[in-house]
């Protein structure tokens, strides 16, 4: 039985170009080696090689390995370590991958990224079967259609893996999950296996960087470019130059950086990196609602974007002009205090102001969106004044990073069951406060219940639509300048301060 799975995996590797037809015997033997098998009988083909799905084959091989004691633990962490080793044996060497990327890039940048993205899926580095589990929908709001996703593709660690990790000696290799040293790394219970992971070198603003894809793919062609050195993230003039350098080389991609301060920054501030991809977010579609002019930069298109967060958009055909102006705006914002608007550049020596920048090409122009951020905390809002407030934590409590800033909500896995339970309760007329799944959502759901005729057929759609409205409110909370008249007047005061 397992011989058929091995044969199918070899066929899959040939079909996807991971190995050549002439390497089939080698491919079978290397799979046997990982599985600790020493014999094999080529089965009769009863399948269509063009329709082979990878995940079921790997599941069968893992089940067999566990039954024979080769895979000692059968939890997701250990299964991931094992199936990544299998796929790593079939993944081409880094040199070959980089050379192919270079050849495609010489034809056209998009051909290079199209190939590399497909390759990263074919190796199972991007686990397509898990990405397919994510719940995704679009929610209409006053700011356009926002993207909502409930992340179900990240595996949760099991108790045995957590216990085993505690007993491991401390390791600083790789230094983080972004470092280039992850390429080919076998992993351990507290660090993912990366034998099937490949990165390609790129030059960003004259410095060596690498390009890879995110294994979790929150949107189309979700890529990560990262510094070859393990150096902290920093929003500065050089950051703007790097972002624009990237989009000049990959004009079909946007790229952005998380902010460089806690609360308003990303999950990995210790390694300089950007996220990009081939996707149009709602923020990119949002229009400039008020044009502004900066002294000395009258030739640069500039304006305030109609968006729940506070965004200055600047555009010009010469990226050096954008770098100059972005640096001026950043410098002004770093030191800007407006007590009336509850914006403080620092308190007790702790800096609060930074920017989340996003770069793209629009026609023949370069464009930067500069999202003003502030990580001030207060007694009433200890997680952040410009962070989702407590009444929204039933939906979103986590930091608002780059992806959310642009209009894509990455919501916790718990909401799959909770929102389904809310919908069922609303459809049946049940008590929202009677269940642990729905209790935290009761005030919210009771607030919109009377606005709809809710049935079993439309309940979940309504709940998802209202979830989108909550996310719009989350972004409003994260905006330093509110959408009301006083907030927009305060925004213009800052614009006028940029000299």
Q: How confident is the model at residue 230 (pLDDT cuts 50, 70, 90)?
A: very high
Q: Taking all residues of the chain, what is their mean pLDDT, rounded to a whole number?
A: 95
pLDDT at 166 over 80: no
pLDDT for 49: 87
Q: How confident is the model at residue 161 (pLDDT cuts 50, 70, 90)?
A: low
pLDDT at 317 over 70: yes
Task: Give the distance, in angstroms, between the CA of residue 19 and the centroid of all CA atoms in the same chain.
Answer: 30
pLDDT at 143 over 60: yes
The pair of structure tokens assigned to 431 is: 């008590």
pLDDT for 113: 98
pLDDT at 59 over 60: yes
pLDDT for 171: 79
Taking only the tens place, the pLDDT of each residue in 392-448 is 999 999 999 999 999 999 999 999 999 999 999 999 999 999 999 999 999 999 999
pLDDT for 153: 82
3-state helix, strand, coil in the chain (%, to 5): 40, 20, 40
pLDDT at 71 over 80: yes
Token pair 């799959």 is found at: 416
**Contact (CB, 8 A) for 369 and 241:** no
Taking only the tens place, the pLDDT of each residue in 256-283 is 999 999 999 777 889 999 999 999 999 9
- Max CA-CA distance within the chain? 78
Instruction: Tell me the pTM.
Output: 0.94
pLDDT at 163 over 80: no
DSSP string, 435-456: SHHHHTTHHHHHHHHTTS---T
- What is the pLDDT averaged over residues 21-47? 96
The pair of structure tokens assigned to 330 is: 């950043």
């Amino acid at each position: 039985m397992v011989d058929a799975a091995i044969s199918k995996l070899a066929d899959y590797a040939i079909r996807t170009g991971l190995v050549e037809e002439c390497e089939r015997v080698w491919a079978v033997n290397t799979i046997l080696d990982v599985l600790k098998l020493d014999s094999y009988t080529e089965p009769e083909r009863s399948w269509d090689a063009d329709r082979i799905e990878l995940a079921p084959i790997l599941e069968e091989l893992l089940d067999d390995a566990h039954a024979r004691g080769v895979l000692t633990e059968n939890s997701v962490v250990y299964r991931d370590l094992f199936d990544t080793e299998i796929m790593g044996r079939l993944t081409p060497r880094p040199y070959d991958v980089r050379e192919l990327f270079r050849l495609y890039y010489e034809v056209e940048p998009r051909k290079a990224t199209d190939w590399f993205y497909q390759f990263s899926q074919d190796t199972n580095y991007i686990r397509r079967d898990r990405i397919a589990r994510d719940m995704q929908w679009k929610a209409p709001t006053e700011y356009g259609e926002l993207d909502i996703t409930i992340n179900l593709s990240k595996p949760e660690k099991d108790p045995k893996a957590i216990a085993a990790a505690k007993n491991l000696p401390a390791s600083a290799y790789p230094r983080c999950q972004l470092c280039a040293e992850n390429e080919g790394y076998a992993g351990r219970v507290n660090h993912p296996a990366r034998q099937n992971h490949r990165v390609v070198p790129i030059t960003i603003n004259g410095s060596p960087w690498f390009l890879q894809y995110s294994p979790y793919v929150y949107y189309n062609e979700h890529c990560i470019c990262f510094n070859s050195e393990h150096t902290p993230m920093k929003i500065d003039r050089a950051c703007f130059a790097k972002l624009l350098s990237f989009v000049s080389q990959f004009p079909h991609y946007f790229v952005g950086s998380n902010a460089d301060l806690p609360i308003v920054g990303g999950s990995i501030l210790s390694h300089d990196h950007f996220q990009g991809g081939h996707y149009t977010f709602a923020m990119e579609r949002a229009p400039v609602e008020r044009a502004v002019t900066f002294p000395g930069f009258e030739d640069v298109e500039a304006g305030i974007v109609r968006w729940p967060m506070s965004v200055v958009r600047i555009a010009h055909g010469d990226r050096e002009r954008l770098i100059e102006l972005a640096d001026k705006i950043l410098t002004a914002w770093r030191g800007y205090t407006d007590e009336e608007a509850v914006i403080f550049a620092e308190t007790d020596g702790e800096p609060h102001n930074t920017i989340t920048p996003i770069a793209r090409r629009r026609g023949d122009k370069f464009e930067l969106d500069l999202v003003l951020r502030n990580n001030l905390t207060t007694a009433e809002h200890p997680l952040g004044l410009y962070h989702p407030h407590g009444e929204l934590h039933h939906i979103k409590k986590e930091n608002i990073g780059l992806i959310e800033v642009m209009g894509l909500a990455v919501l916790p896995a718990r909401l799959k069951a909770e929102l389904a339970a809310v919908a069922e309760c609303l459809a049946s007329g049940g008590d929202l406060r009677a269940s642990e799944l729905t209790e935290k959502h009761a005030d919210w759901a009771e607030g919109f219940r009377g606005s709809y005729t809710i049935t079993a057929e439309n309940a979940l759609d309504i709940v998802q639509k209202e979830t989108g409205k909550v996310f719009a409110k989350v972004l409003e909370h994260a905006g330093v300048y509110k959408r009301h008249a006083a907030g927009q007047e305060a925004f213009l005061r800052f614009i006028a301060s940029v000299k």
